[in-house]
Amino acid sequence: MKKIYREFQKIYYNLDKILLLFFTLFAFMEFVWIPLNSWVSERLLALTGHAYLSPTNLLSVFSENLFISGLFILLFFANIGIAYLELALLFTGVWQLLDEKVKHLSDYLRDVRDSMVAIICHSSLPKIIFLLFYSVLLLPFLRRILNIYYFNKIVVPQFVLDYLSNTVWIGVLILVSLLLFFWLASRLMFALPKIYFEHRSVKESIAFSWKYTKRIKQVNYLVRLVGLVTFPVIFFTGVALLLYSIQLFVEGYAPSLSYWLAVVCYIVLRLTYYGVIALFMIGFISLLTGKKLPIYRRKRLRHRLRLAILLVSSLVFGVQGALLLYYPFDTLPVTISHRGVDNGNAVQNSIEALEKTYQLKPDYIEMDVQETKDGQFIVMHDTDLMALTGNTGGTHDYTLAELTGDDCIRKRDDSSCSFF
């Protein structure tokens, strides 16, 4: 704990630079680039006569107008360029903090500017591809930190993850793949400072990193990288659970204070979030370069400046949290229950499930309807009856009378099949 306290103390000493770096980066992405990118995308899509873009209409959208398709391609490459510069600014900004000499804010900004100019001048397509590939695929934790617009669209649906995790051999395969990605990330991570800070070629940088992490070193750096990634997640989760427990306690005994406490918890959560991001990035760049944050003499610190920055940040987060909690949506979404399941207390698509789910008052309830052998309809999710009823075949192999008879009672419960 003493070591963690010292690291947070060093972060506090550099609070003015860290907050400026992250505020500039994330404010630009959240309030400028993402809204602008969304607006341009919507305008271009409207010119094609389509309301949305999905895998089902991708070909028709891009074949509608070649000029519009060209503009979409340019917009995509603009996002790639912004993501590359975003990553460069984050790495460079943290790298400049790890300087042995104490820097004033003006000196820090000048050094970051000079480093960014050098990175832009030495940029190349292989460098952009490798660095984005590393941050998106090999170390996706960076992707979530950077909030890259297009790359955040690369998600696996939760129901797919649930299905895969419930299949033992696939779950083992996912775990092995995750370890493989971490191992590969640890073998290639020393190429990053070579590319960014020494402006070496991708081939030369990868060769250096691969050679540097050979033999027992690869195990050492793999463990350190896993530790760097997991510690911020565990720490942030712990703080979030603590705040959530406090919120639940206050809502139970002093509900009149719950709203303002929620705003305070939101402020603490946001500050903790940026704190663990800073802690991770400083630890990661320190691991890659061997540099540490300088230790400041207390007489050189201007505590009022740092406390003022912290106060202003808390005020901004407080206003944001108050508005978010008071009215969380511009347009209130409808609530849809998935197949009438109420926390596993009733069988999907059964009348019992509908009765329990109705108490939650959703706007819609999704139900599954299957056609029977005699052209009737039965409310049932699975076409294969083995898992649900213990009988072989599918719903199309049985008549309605057979499916609703005593021989077709749901397995492991007494809920009968509904039909119409």
Largest CA distance in the chain: 88
What is the residue type of 376?
A: Q
Token digits for 107?
Answer: 């000196």
User: 243 and 276 share a domain?
Assistant: yes
Question: Is the alpha carbon torsion for 237, 241, 247, 250 positive or negative?
Answer: negative
What's the confidence (pLDDT) of residue 7? 67
Q: What is the DSSP letter of 373?
A: T
370, 383 Cβ separation under 8 angstroms = yes
Q: Which of 333, 308, 284, 30 is nearest to 141 (CA)?
A: 284
What's the CA gap between 392 and 380, in Å, rounded?
15
pLDDT digits (tens, 9 = 90+) for 16-47: 788 778 777 877 877 788 888 888 888 888 88
Total domain count, the chain? 2
Structural domain containing residue 16: 2-326
Q: Both 31 and 145 in a single domain?
A: yes
C-beta pairs of 251-260 under 8 Å, 24+ apart in sequence: 259/325, 259/326
pLDDT at 261 over 90: yes
Amino acid symbol at 23 = F
CA dihedral 241, 243, 249, 254 (to 10 degrees): -160
Decide which of 258, 293, 326 is a domain's last residue.
326
Domain shared by 299 and 351, yes or no? no
Highest mean pLDDT among 8-22, 249-263, 275-289, 331-345: 249-263
End-to-end CA separation in angstroms for the chain: 64
pLDDT at 151: 55
Residue 331 lies in a domain: no
- The per-residue pLDDT for 35 is 84
Last residue of a domain, one of 263, 294, 326: 326
| Same domain flag for 57 and 197 | yes
Distance CA 315, CA 405 (A): 65
State the CATH number of the domain containing residue 367.
Answer: 3.20.20.190
- At 147, which helix (H) or strand (E)? none
Is residue 137 located within the same domain as residue 96?
A: yes
Does the pLDDT value for residue 264 go beyond 90?
A: yes
What are the tens digits of pLDDT across the range 125-161? 999 889 888 877 666 556 555 555 555 555 566 666 6
User: Of 348, 343, 382, which Cα lies nearest the Cα of 365?
Assistant: 348
User: Quick one: pLDDT band at residue 251, thresholds 50, 70, 90?
Assistant: confident
- pLDDT value of position 417: 65
The domain boundary residue, chosen from 281, 307, 326: 326
Count how many Cα atoms sit within 13 Å of the Cα of residue 208 in the half-sphere of its side chain.
15
Q: What share of the chain is helix, strand, coil (3-state, %, to 5)?
A: 70, 5, 25
Shared domain for 209 and 139, answered yes or no, is: yes
Q: Is the pLDDT of residue 188 over 80?
A: yes
Q: Are 127 and 195 in contact (CB under 8 A)?
A: yes
**pLDDT score recorded for residue 139:** 62
Confidence of residue 165 (pLDDT cuts 50, 70, 90): low
H-helix or E-strand spanning residue 420: none
Helix (H) or strand (E) holding 195: helix 191-196
**Integer Cα distance of 396 and 390 in angstroms:** 16
Q: Is the pLDDT of residue 364 over 50?
A: yes
* Residue 290 confidence (pLDDT): 84
Flag whether 358 is in a domain.
yes
Mean pLDDT across 251-255: 86
Q: Is the pLDDT of residue 174 over 80?
A: no
Place of tokens 């607006």: 39
Structure tokens at 49: 């006569």
265 shares its domain with 378: no
Instruction: Answer yes or no: is pLDDT of 5 > 50.
Output: yes
Name, of 89-98, 102-111, 397-406, the range with top average pLDDT: 89-98
**d(Cα 169, Cα 235) in Å, to the nearest integer?**
31
Neighbours of 365 (CB within 10 A): 18
Q: Which residue has the higher pLDDT, 234 or 279?
A: 234
The model's confidence at residue 411, banded by pLDDT at 50, 70 and 90, is very low
Question: Which neighbouring-strand residues pair with 370?
Answer: 378
Whether the per-residue pLDDT at 412 is higher than 60: the answer is no
Over range 180-184, report the average pLDDT.
86
Tell me whether residue 213 is exposed, middle or buried, using C-beta atoms within 10 angstroms of its C-beta: 0 to 12, 13 to 18, 19 or more: buried
381 and 300 in a common domain: no
Shared domain for 293 and 233, answered yes or no, is yes
